[in-house]
Amino acid sequence: MAGQALADVMTRLRRSQLLTPETLRELDDLQHEQHDPQALVRAVLKRGWLTAYQARELFSGRGEGLLLGEYVLLDRVGSGATSHVYKARHLPTGRTVGLKVLRTDLLSTEEAWDCLLREGRAGVRLAHPNLLKVHGALREGDAFFLVREFAEGTDLARVVGQQGPLPVGRACDYVRQASRGLQHAFERGLVHRDIKPSNLLLTDRALVKVLDLGIAAWGHPRQWVIRPRAIAAAGTPDYVAPERVEAPAQADVRSDVYGLGCTLYHLLAGRPPFPGGTREEKLLRHREEEPQALERLRPDVSPDLGDVVRRMMAKRPADRFPTPGAAGDALSPFAEAGPCDTQFVLELGDDSLASLDPGQSTDVLPDGS
């Protein structure tokens, strides 16, 4: 019985197309040393011939999904509402890349390809250290995917979820970095339209990269062609600017400034400006309410920094900083570069504590998502 199981493992490995001819020759020698199928698989993993993710997929009968044209999937690193994100290798060059693969079970073929092309066309025109580089959009059979830079790191929504509110200097630096990437995009005619902590990746080098250009728009707002369904889905209610709800076609880059302000508020407070409630209630509060002042939540937030955040989150676009770059410049005096290896612990009075809704929810790692 063990011999039959071992033979099945060998057959799957040989047919997987995941191993090189040289590795297959070594595999033949290895099987004579291992008489237990589990031991053989462990030996293959130890030698780095397969990743743990590949082994799970292969021996669960899903091995054919590990190859997408010239790319082999190494690991799944994230999932969102409409896509999965993978670490992958380009077989001809051996280069490690990221693949954003659309879930075609949720999108029609036309919608999937249109979404992918939009993000691909947006990304290939941009080259900035604070933007995740996009190499292009491809289709292989029924799979639609975006090829982009692979960067090790954690999105800022997850960082806050794990560590709590961030130190003031670090939070300001991370948002300042994001503003530089968005300024580069804006100068080339692109507005992101979905800025939030989960779309900001913090790498192990303390470098922030802006993710997810999938709902970005080109040019002057009057030239945008956006389907009604896209408008309804665009943006995340915890970070969406008031004008995006009232007059979406008139929104411009100052909506990204608002999103940056909400993101900075979240990094400093440990929660969005208006936690809890339904989507509709959140959108109404963005239009009509002011969030609790950060200075009341954190004694180390100066009135000057509080004023900068309030200007970024002004209800009227005309009252905000005119561009992401201008907002980033205003944050520079408060920014401190470096990794986020420390955290701030909120010490709140009863009034402040009551304002933190225990039922608050934040999209973590949405589509870049």
Residues serving a catalytic function are 194
The distance in angstroms from the start CA to the end CA of the chain is 45
Bridge partners, residue 155, by sequence: 201
- Residue 102 C-beta-side C-alpha neighbours within 13 Å: 29
For 273-304, letters b (16+ CB in 10 Å) and e give bbbbbeeeebbbbbeeeebbebeebbeebeee
Both tokens assigned to 77: 């690193």
Angle between helix 254-269 and helix 324-331 axes, rounded to 10 deg: 30
